[in-house]
A and B are shown apart, each in its own frame.
Chain A
Amino acid sequence: MDKSLKFYTYLVLILFAIVSIYPLFHVFITSFKQVDEYIENRVFPPAKWVLDNYRVGIEQGHLLSYFWNNAILIPAAMLFYLFVCVAAGFAFGRLRFRLRLPLFLATLFLMIFPQMLLSLQIFQICNKLYLTDTYLGVVLVWTAYFAPFGTYIMATYFSSIPYEIIESARVDGASTWRILTQIATPMALPMLGFLVIIGFQSMWNELPFSLLLLQSMEKRTVTLGIAMIQGQYGIPDPTRAAVIVVASFIPILVFLFFQKYITTGTFAGSLKG
């Protein structure tokens, strides 16, 4: 690459890095600013760094209990989600049955519909099944909505396992269940890690379903909790900023740990179709 092109590339990159990171940076510095100072100084880092906003935000926003709720809800939902995706993904990817393609295409087709389109009716169904305001309801609805994509990923992966491995195990008398748990799933472990990340992101950030299903305040998830805080008036901006930073903590941690997974195109590659 010649010199001038390199220079412009850096320039453009820096520009976009600023555009995409500056609002986040602003929220970060604002969260340490005294409410009075923010009125005068909106742009620069605080003259005096204080933690008051965090104290107020966490206490009045009940953030800790929301985190606790997530800690219960998301692992439970995750286990169920993994089970459904791996089982169905294996069947679609590596077993032969007559309705394989039609059912698989139908599942893919249903993936696109927005949550809001279904929510009104899901709410009524859950009401009839006594699932509103329960975590069981959220787990089932989340899995129903997110599993098709996970299944698609797993099916793609399982279909790349050589047939011979599976056939010879079968002829040796291994049941499908044993092939799945002892041969196929161990081979798919890296993909499972990826599935966990995708599932985690979708569940952690999910709003519409939890907004409608979890009515009582004690049951709110982090995302739902802060979305409700956003709707309240009279909260000073620095406190809001502190709430945002606290809520971002876990997703950013996940990002830092699994950055390689997420950004190297493994992610992009799997969406290639």
Chain B
Amino acid sequence: MALKKPNSTTQVKLDLDQLMAKNGLKPWKKKSLRAQESRDAYLLITPLMILTFVFILFPMVSNFVYSFTDWRGFGALNWIGFDNFRTMFQDERFWQSIKNTLILLLFIPMGVFIPLCLAALLRGGLKGWKFFRAVIYLPQILGYVILGMIFNLFLRSNGPLNSLLEMVGLQSWALDWLNRPLLALLSLGTVYSVILRIGFGTIYLLAAMGGVDEHLYEAARVDGAGWWTRFWHITLPSIRFNIEFLVVMSVIENVARAFSFIYTFSRGGPGYSTHTLEYSLYTLGFTNGRIGHASAWSVILFFICAAIAIMQIRLMRWNDG
């Protein structure tokens, strides 16, 4: 965890004792200073805690409560036990949205591998890199809503990609990228989980590689190790944590951050074919109004996200040694 522990307590105490003595303060004042510090701390985190409680924690708990009711946004709460879960597990759309989410995850290795290669190539420094960096990063800045619109326009059956393919004589490759169920999902994966990951991934990994001790490379070069050997035996092991972190980030983007992009890229369609579990919550809760039912789906997504979060926090701690 990046939050540094206070210097060892004895050290701090010593400093404080000296400081207090210097200023002619009696030791008993120390306790009240400490108490004051703790009171102030709680006061300072109060705004964050209230917001988190009302708008994050409480909604999460409510999800669990509503998942056992047939609540539709008005009237009394009817307890219906596990009925919502039973219907959910029998619902084909539920399994499809799970399947879609999993298929999107299959694109992650590519979305990490390409930035890794780019970063490795760029490690040595290159003329004009600053320009490329800006260009590669630019899409990141626009936000998923705009990016969804751009790639939607780009991939339409009568759009520029197909025109380009026809122009170079690949008519048979000019497919209806967004309107055939499986193809739409693959397009989503390629764009969202690979192309849109390149900018951040490359810059992140490059920054990580910059932190590797240059002496290692020199020693290896003296030993006659080639570019590939150095990459495999020095670079990769040194940035292992960063790669793992990037993978976890990509998983989060796929499972928990894709709504805005899908909303403008494909609207979850055709049919249900680009609905992830997250996107389904929107369709279910807001276009059908069956809040109790949607809450059951939320509970499943909650557990998936909780598992990822625990993974992430453990990864960060492990890195801390």
Contact = CB atoms under 8 A, between A and B. Distances in A.
Given A125-B55, A272-B242, A95 B44 contact: yes
A249 to B, nearest CB: 11
Interface stretch (B103-111, B214-222, B277-285): B277-285
B278 A12 contact: no
Interface in B258-300: 259-260, 263-264, 267, 278-279, 281-282, 285-286, 291, 294-295, 298
Contact of A265 (B4, B134, B206): B206
Interface string B25-49: 1000000011011101110110111
A85 B45 CA distance: 9
B1 A273 contact: yes
B45 to A, nearest CB: 5
B221 to A, nearest CB: 12
Nearest to A14: B132
Contacts of A1: 124, 126
Interface string A217-249: 000000100110011000001001101100110
Given A42-B160, A120-B295, A244-B150, A87 B44 contact: yes
B160 A117 contact: no
Contacts of B313: 105, 108-109
B203 A268 contact: yes
B50 to A, nearest CB: 9
Contacts of A264: 207
Interface stretch (A49-57, A68-76, A161-169, A187-195): A161-169
Interface of B is mostly: helix
A107 B52 contact: yes
Given A13-B122, A125-B58, A252-B138, 18 more contacts: A10-B126, A23-B153, A23-B154, A26-B153, A109-B313, A112-B308, A113-B60, A117-B301, A119-B282, A121-B59, A121-B66, A144-B51, A144-B56, A240-B149, A255-B138, A271-B245, A272-B2, A273-B245
15 contacts: A21-B135, A23-B153, A26-B154, A84-B48, A96-B6, A96-B38, A112-B312, A114-B257, A118-B56, A121-B58, A144-B55, A148-B52, A163-B6, A223-B145, A230-B263
Interface of B: 1-4, 6-7, 12, 15-16, 19-20, 23, 25, 33-34, 36-38, 40-42, 44-45, 47-49, 51-52, 54-60, 62-63, 66, 73, 114, 117-118, 121-122, 124, 126, 132-139, 141-146, 148-154, 156, 158-160, 163-164, 167, 195, 198-200, 203-204, 206-208, 210, 227, 242, 245, 249, 252, 255-257, 259-260, 263-264, 267, 278-279, 281-282, 285-286, 291, 294-295, 298, 301-302, 305-306, 308-310, 312-313, 315-316, 319
- 10 closest Cβ pairs, A-B complex: A205-B143, A265-B207, A121-B59, A144-B55, A114-B256, A176-B40, A144-B51, A91-B44, A268-B204, A88-B48
